[in-house]
A and B are shown apart, each in its own frame.
Chain A
Amino acid sequence: MHEAAIAQAILDTALTAAGQDGGKKIKIIRIVIVAGALAGIEQPSLEMYLTELARGTPAEGTVLELKSTPARLVCRTCGHAMPFDSGRTVDVQCDQCGGPNRLEADDACYLESIEVES
């Protein structure tokens, strides 16, 4: 359900972005999205909903490209940084010195670009 809401938001945003381009008959063939590790976005389910929702719109058959922004756990004592993958559990302790980690990640999700064909 959540993916459906996000897919609809992506589609609406892409259609708006395409509309700014004169209003000629165009087709959206690629949508590029950038998402933070905490945005909770998974490509397969999102793609499935987008395919369904885009049917009958200028984005029918579009490719969805998902880029994720890097996230990391940084130790507040020694500064050691570890990449953090979405879906993992946060390690509260630095594996180098045992100091407290802090998660640097976000849940931003934005449209970067679309490719259109006219």
Chain B
Amino acid sequence: MAKKKIITARRSILCANDRQAAANTRLFKKLDLTTINVMASPGAGKTNLLVHLLKALSSHGSVGVIEGDVASSIDAEHIAALGYPVTQINTDGGCHLNASDIAAALKELNLAGPGFLFIENIGNLICPAAFDLGERVRLVLASVPEGDDKPRKYPGIFMKADVVVVNKLDTLAAFDFDRAAFIAGVRAVNPAAPILEVSCRTGQGLDALADWLLALR
């Protein structure tokens, strides 16, 4: 006769990822790198934003990028061509970066602080939020053409944001994006995160964002 038994063992499903994320946090601290996990839908302007922030912050210390993409190295090549240290992660169909991807990329990048490390996560508003990378800041980027309802439709990622940035402000006239509705949507899921409006096209708001990041150091 088979013996049956229930084992109660409460443990996080992502405990392996969480452990690696904690190790990453310790490493970031040792290297004196303030790490920013940039999460957004495809085409929101993550790479454009990084290029602006790298330029703004490079006079204050070292800067570098870990580029996550399903495939291709277009974004990494773009950043490398500008002379910034960058490592590419290709997830081969994977829809998010996880903490061990970052640990491996960090070795390759060989960046030391004091300074800033940016991680461009996979373009996706759903699961990147679930995978802690050990970062200091979760930056969620939205953009005007995507519509003002995104925080209400993807509450999980906006809930976890430490800062919410709205990009492509220069296109407001062409879209029916309601700024107050966007802010109300963010506030329904996240009471505290600052909401900053920028345009990577005109440069509007980017200094304020760079200052916000500098104030973390």
Contacts and interface: CB of A to CB of B under 8 A. Distances in A.
Contacts of A16: 11
Contact of B130 (A10, A33, A90, A107): A107
A1 B95 contact: yes
A114 B6 contact: yes
Contacts of B173: none
Interface size class of chain B, counting residues whose CB lies under 8 Å from the partner chain = 35 or more
Contacts of B162: none
B11 A110 contact: yes
A116 B5 contact: yes
Interface string B1-29: 01111111111111111000000000000
A interface majority secondary structure: mixed
Contacts of B149: 89
Interface in A70-118: 73, 89-92, 100-103, 105, 107-118
Q: Which of B98, B155, B185 has the most CB of A within 10 A?
A: B155
B191 A111 contact: no
Contacts of B127: 2, 40
A5 interface: yes
Contact of A17 (B7, B95, B181): B7
Interface of B is mostly: mixed
Q: Contact size class for A?
A: 35 or more
Contact of B16 (A2, A9, A18): A9
B93 interface: yes
B184 A100 contact: yes
Contact of B185 (A33, A39, A92): A92
A63 interface: no
30 contacts: A2-B96, A2-B127, A6-B13, A9-B13, A9-B14, A9-B16, A9-B17, A10-B13, A21-B5, A33-B13, A38-B155, A40-B127, A89-B152, A90-B152, A91-B188, A102-B191, A103-B159, A105-B159, A107-B160, A110-B13, A111-B11, A111-B13, A112-B8, A113-B7, A115-B5, A116-B7, A117-B2, A117-B3, A118-B3, A118-B5
Closest 10 CB pairs of A and B: A38-B156, A17-B9, A90-B152, A113-B8, A92-B188, A92-B184, A2-B127, A109-B13, A117-B2, A103-B189
